[in-house]
Structure 1
Amino acid sequence: MSAEIVQLVEQAGPYLSAAVGAYGAAVFSRAEDAAVGAAADATANLGQRILQAVWHRRDDQDRAALETAVQEAAEEPDDGDAAGALRQQIKRALREDAELAREVAGWLPVHGGVTVNVSGTRAIGAQHIDIAATGDHTTIHPPQP
């Protein structure tokens, strides 16, 4: 299960980072929004949900360590060591609580999914595409036999 936990924490990483970046140490006391508008909010809210679930299942000493890791990651968003310390706290909690690990896994999107974000004039996004044309006065000729 150790490799599965590592993969789970890697998958949760962007959500945790979004939550820490958006809410900082208040992530543990902030009430989760009932209605989520923007995708960034949804990402941060899922990260908050994960952090709160871990926090509620820890003892006082482990809660203090988790709070410290969140605070340091919030204060130093570009510090890979601070982010790593937070991931380590989450990893430890998931290893020690199989039910929590299953719960968190159920909240995360299914592996193998594809997300394509596209914006801008004439932008095209696709997982598989044969022909794409975005220019003015474009003519596409079918292949000749």
Structure 2
Amino acid sequence: MSADIGQLVEQAGPYLATAVSAYGVAVFARGEGAGVDATAGPGRRMLQAVWLRQDERGREALAAAVRDAHAAPDDADAAAAVRQQVKRALRDDVELPAELARMLPAAGETVKVTASGRRSIAAQSIGTAVTGDNATIRP
């Protein structure tokens, strides 16, 4: 595996994880609604690109990895299995790394975060947030 592929998968990892968490195997459906956020959208497009370039066996392996990761969102091994499938596809297709790299949001790209509804919280990154009454936060 080249360092470029490893670095690409590392950069794509959070986007892939968010897409898997949000969509599960439905991530492979072509449609993309207006509700797709800044993190799930690129991950979804990346997984779709990998999916479309696979043969039947590759698609089955990728779908199984996505299904497992979606079923166990806190399982680091399941998330790693998705990344491993993406790495395999990147090694097997010389054009795919460049295609996926173009899908990554540019460094410093503006992220729009929106909250809607009573006691909603919107943040690109957050430590502790409390929206309930009479909450006690202990270090």
Is TM more than 0.5 here?
yes
Hey, what's the Cα distance between the residues in 1 that align with 2:30 and 2:55? 20
Report the equivalent of 2:42: 46
Any conservation in 2 of the 1:73–1:82 contact (CA below 8 Å)? yes
Match of 1:2 in 2: 2
| Dislocated runs of 4+, deviation >3 Å | 113-117
The yes-or-no answer on 1:59 pairing with 2:78 is no
SS in 2 for 1:18: helix
CA RMSD of aligned residues (A): 2.3
> For 1:97 and 1:109, how far apart are their aligned partners in 2?
22
> By how many angstroms is 1:114 displaced?
7.9
Cα distance in 1, alignment partners of residues 14 and 83 from structure 2: 11
Q: Structure 2: how far apart are the matches of 1:116 and 1:49?
A: 17
Counterpart Cα distance in 2 of 1:41 and 1:30? 16
Question: Could you tell me which residue of structure 2 aligns to residue 139 of structure 1?
Answer: none
Say which one has the larger Rg: 1
Give TM-score, length-normalised by structure 2. 0.73
Unaligned runs of 5+ in 1: 118-145
1:83 alignment partner, one of 65, 79, 84:
79
TM-score (norm: length of structure 1)? 0.70
**Residue of structure 2 equivalent to 1:68:** 64
- Following superposition, the deviation at residue 42 of structure 1 comes to 2.1
Name the residue aligned to 2:128: none
**Helix, strand or coil for the counterpart of 1:98?**
coil
Question: What count of residue pairs does the alignment treat as equivalent?
Answer: 113
Following TM superposition, by how much is the alpha carbon of 1:94 offset from its aligned partner in structure 2, in angstroms? 0.8
8 Å contact kept, 2:90–2:97: yes
Inter-CA distance 92–108: structure 2 relative to 1 (3 Å threshold): same
Partners of 2:111 and 2:59 in 1: CA distance: 36
| % same residue | 62
Q: 1:62 offset after TM fit, Å?
A: 0.6
Following superposition, the deviation at residue 30 of structure 1 comes to: 5.2
Structure 2: where are the runs of 5+ without partners?
Answer: 113-139
